[in-house]
Amino acid sequence: MPAVSYISILLVDDDKKEYLSTNRLVKRVTEPKCKLEWCSSFEKAKELIAQHSHDLYMIDYKLGEHSGMDLLRMVEPDKRPEPFILLTDVADRTIERQALKLGASDYLVKGAFDAELLSNSFNYSLGRKQAEAQRFEHLIELNQAKDEFISVASHQLRTPATGVKQYIGMLLDGMFGELTPTQEAVLLKAYDSNERQLRIVSDLLKVARVDAGKVILKEAETDMNKLLAEVASEESEIARKRGQKIKLKPASKPATAWVDKDTIRMVFENLIDNASKYSRRDTTIEVVVRVNKKSVVVKVIDQGVGIEEEDLSKLFEKFSRIHNPLSTQAGGSGLGLYWAKKVVDLHNGKIEVESSPGGGTTFLVHLPRLLYK
């Protein structure tokens, strides 16, 4: 005779009478077959839930000094495979909305449900979680397909664009005869447009590689004072053409971080170039290096147009472009900051931003000084 499969349920309620009453109803539920266990302690419930001890959780709204809402906030049901059902003494739409917003799958009023309604709630909650899991897997597959397409398309775009650059360069160098001023002006515009296309393709390739997990870091002790002096020197020429200055303030003591020098260099090239693009003429971009016990902190500070508070959370999203007075002029793919954050995350570091409209922007990059294993 085949074994009967049961759904294990944990009831979190500090009232034993409620447990006994609920258990009588659960025993009458035939689809799905259920086993109910009881926990009266808030702390013990947190421990059991953290262990994924049951297939479904029923949480009472009142739990002594705590509430069911407190428990839902801590365990984050929307990030877990098991459904949570909140139980209350009275119907309250506000509590119901809050519970569902926190990730509860259903909401029941004690004393107002029988075994049939309980069965429906169990099946609905379990089915909802299964549907969420399937949708999540589908989104992962779609994202992987998209990343593969971007990678392949980027490679295919790069080759002809590089060829166009070479041919335009040969024309500008006079290899096929002298150009008239008009011809030269037109070719320079074509060359600049082609350069922008190559930068976008390069951004797509970098993002495709980091999303696919193909960025392999070669970390080593790196003098960030020296590295940033090199980056600031290289970026100063571009800033000078925009009527700006770059000022480096190195740390007063050795600023050695454990990083992949080449990828971190590109992160700061991106941050400094962004600071320049979104700043007006006659302004200064500061690069400040400081050292604390566990990390090297680098600040890139501009006197630019700044960012609205509601837009700060969008900065590191893929293809995100924030509208501001200089955004049309600056251009870009909306991938640079997304890639930069991914690279800093790979280093077990952190990137933050502080800004206000018209008050400039500061990016803070925290990089580990030591190798953590």
Q: Which of 83-87, 134-138, 324-328 has the lowest mean pLDDT?
A: 324-328
| Peptide linkage before 77 cis (omega within 30 of 0) | no
Question: How does residue 159 score in pLDDT terms, banded at 50, 70 and 90?
Answer: confident
Same domain, 190 and 246: no
Decide if 202 is inside a domain: yes
Token readout for 165 is: 């650059």
Same domain, 234 and 298: yes
Distance of alpha carbon 116 from alpha carbon 110, whole angstroms: 14
Question: How does residue 207 score in pLDDT terms, banded at 50, 70 and 90?
Answer: confident
pLDDT of residue 329: 54
Q: Which of 18-27, 126-135, 139-148, 298-307 has the lowest mean pLDDT?
A: 139-148
Question: How does residue 304 score in pLDDT terms, banded at 50, 70 and 90?
Answer: confident
Inform me whether the pLDDT recorded for 212 exceeds 70.
yes
Decide if 1 is inside a domain: no
Give the percent of the chain with pLDDT over 70: 91
Instruction: Give the pLDDT mean for 218-244.
Output: 92
Inform me whether the pLDDT recorded for 210 exceeds 70.
yes
Question: How does residue 227 score in pLDDT terms, banded at 50, 70 and 90?
Answer: very high
Instruction: Give the pLDDT mean for 279-304.
Output: 92
- Helix-then-strand count for the chain, H and E: 10, 14
Q: Which amino acid is at 342?
A: K
Query: Positive or negative, the Cα torsion across 259, 202, 340, 253?
Result: positive
Same domain, 242 and 224: yes
Number of domain units in the chain: 3
pLDDT of residue 154: 62
pLDDT of residue 372: 42
Same domain, 279 and 361: yes
**Structural domain harbouring 82:** 7-113
Q: Which residues contact 236 (CB under 8 A, 6 or more apart)?
A: 245, 246
Decide if 127 is inside a domain: no
Alpha helices by DSSP H, 173-223: 181-211
Give the percent of the chain with pLDDT over 90: 30
Question: How does residue 226 score in pLDDT terms, banded at 50, 70 and 90?
Answer: very high
Inform me whether the pLDDT recorded for 177 exceeds 80.
yes
- The DSSP result for 126-184, as a single string, is HHHHHHHHHHHHHHHHHHHHHHHHHHHHHHHHHHHHHHHHHHHHHHHTTTTSPPPHHHH
Question: How does residue 4 score in pLDDT terms, banded at 50, 70 and 90?
Answer: very low
pLDDT of residue 333: 64
Inform me whether the pLDDT recorded for 186 exceeds 80.
yes
Q: What is the CATH number of the domain that holds 304?
A: 3.30.565.10
Inform me whether the pLDDT recorded for 146 exceeds 80.
no
Across the chain, mean pLDDT equals 85
Decide if 122 is inside a domain: no
Stronger pLDDT, 155 or 45, i.e. the higher one:
45
Q: What is the CATH number of the domain that holds 107?
A: 3.40.50.2300
Same domain, 333 and 250: yes
Length reported for the chain: 373
Strand partners, 365: 298, 351
Stronger pLDDT, 344 or 33, i.e. the higher one:
344
Inform me whether the pLDDT recorded for 123 exceeds 80.
yes
pTM for the predicted model, two decimal places: 0.54
pLDDT of residue 125: 87
Tens of pLDDT, residue by residue over 333-368, are 678 899 999 999 999 999 999 998 888 899 999 999
pLDDT of residue 327: 52
Q: Is 161 within 8 Å of 197 (Cβ atoms)? A: yes
pLDDT of residue 342: 93
Distance of alpha carbon 283 from alpha carbon 266, whole angstroms: 23
Instruction: Give the pLDDT mean for 149-161.
Output: 70
29 CB-side CA count, 13 A: 26
* Final residue belonging to a domain, choices 47, 79, 113: 113
Inform me whether the pLDDT recorded for 328 exceeds 70.
no
What SS3 state is found at 104?
A: coil
Inform me whether the pLDDT recorded for 321 exceeds 80.
no
pLDDT of residue 286: 94
Same domain, 33 and 88: yes
Same domain, 364 and 250: yes
pLDDT of residue 31: 83
